[in-house]
Chains A and B, each alone.
Chain A
Amino acid sequence: SAVISQKPSRDICQRGTSLTIQCQVDSQVTMMFWYRQQPGQSLTLIATANQGSEATYESGFVIDKFPISRPNLTFSTLTVSNMSPEDSSIYLCSVEEQRRSAWNEQFFGPGTRLTVL
């Protein structure tokens, strides 16, 4: 199974600044995903990032606020731009691996806990 690391694991940032979160996978994967988990809430998909193409954003999320890079098959970054306290969340990346019988499983990173003051 894929092993995923994220940097930073946590950060405290000032309003109006930006933070870039890195996601590193120990194997080559086609699809990577970025999720947000607000305090006490479930996970919400932000976007899907495929190597070689622009990320696909879910309703309510825009590229200007959450620019994503996917330079190769093992790495992706998510930037949270012009932060406000409402952006305080855990941000998780995940990857999809194809298992037997053609079904896919998602593996999640440990998350980045962001607090915006």
Chain B
Amino acid sequence: DAKTTQPPSMDCAEGRAANLPCNHSTISGNEYVYWYRQIHSQGPQYIIHGLKNNETNEMASLIITEDRKSSTLILPHATLRDTAVYYCIMQTGANNLFFGTGTRLTVIP
């Protein structure tokens, strides 16, 4: 599975969009981009995933570059409850998720 690179931490003002980048330059053609988050003292929670097209759901949007070597998770209107560690994961399915170090997002009032 491809290795991912994420910034260790980011801050975002409450109500603003949070843009979390992820580099995955060695991604293979059949690997999906998954995003999970882990709020303090809880298990990880699925957010969104995509293959090559941009995706949007009720939680977030996922923008994948045309060469698929990087992606950005967008939380359109961050709230204090979005403070968490966000993991970008490459997978051919949901089996054996490899969690990297993730990005610790802090939403500031």
* Interface residues of A, Cβ cutoff 8 Å to B: 4, 31, 33, 35, 42-45, 48, 58, 92, 94, 96, 103-111
At the interface, yes or no: B68 with Cβ under 8 Å from chain A? no
- The B contact surface, by secondary structure, is loop
Contacts of B95 in A (CB 8 A): 31, 48, 96, 104
Whether A110 and B43, one on each chain, are in contact in the complex, defined by CB atoms closer than 8 angstroms, is yes
**Residues of B in contact with A, size category:** 20 to 34
Shortest A30–chain B CB gap in Å is 11
Instruction: Give bound CA distance, A46 to B98, whole Å.
Output: 11
A106-B49 contact given A42-B87, A42-B102, CB 8 Å threshold: no
In the complex the two chains form, is B97's CB within 8 Å of A45's CB?
A: yes
For B43, give its contact among A31, A48, A108 (CB under 8 Å): A108
Q: What are 29 A-B interface contacts by the 8 Å CB criterion?
A: A4-B43, A33-B96, A42-B87, A42-B99, A42-B100, A42-B101, A43-B44, A43-B99, A44-B99, A45-B97, A45-B98, A48-B95, A58-B96, A92-B44, A94-B44, A96-B94, A96-B95, A103-B32, A103-B49, A104-B94, A105-B46, A106-B36, A106-B94, A106-B97, A107-B46, A108-B43, A108-B44, A108-B45, A110-B42
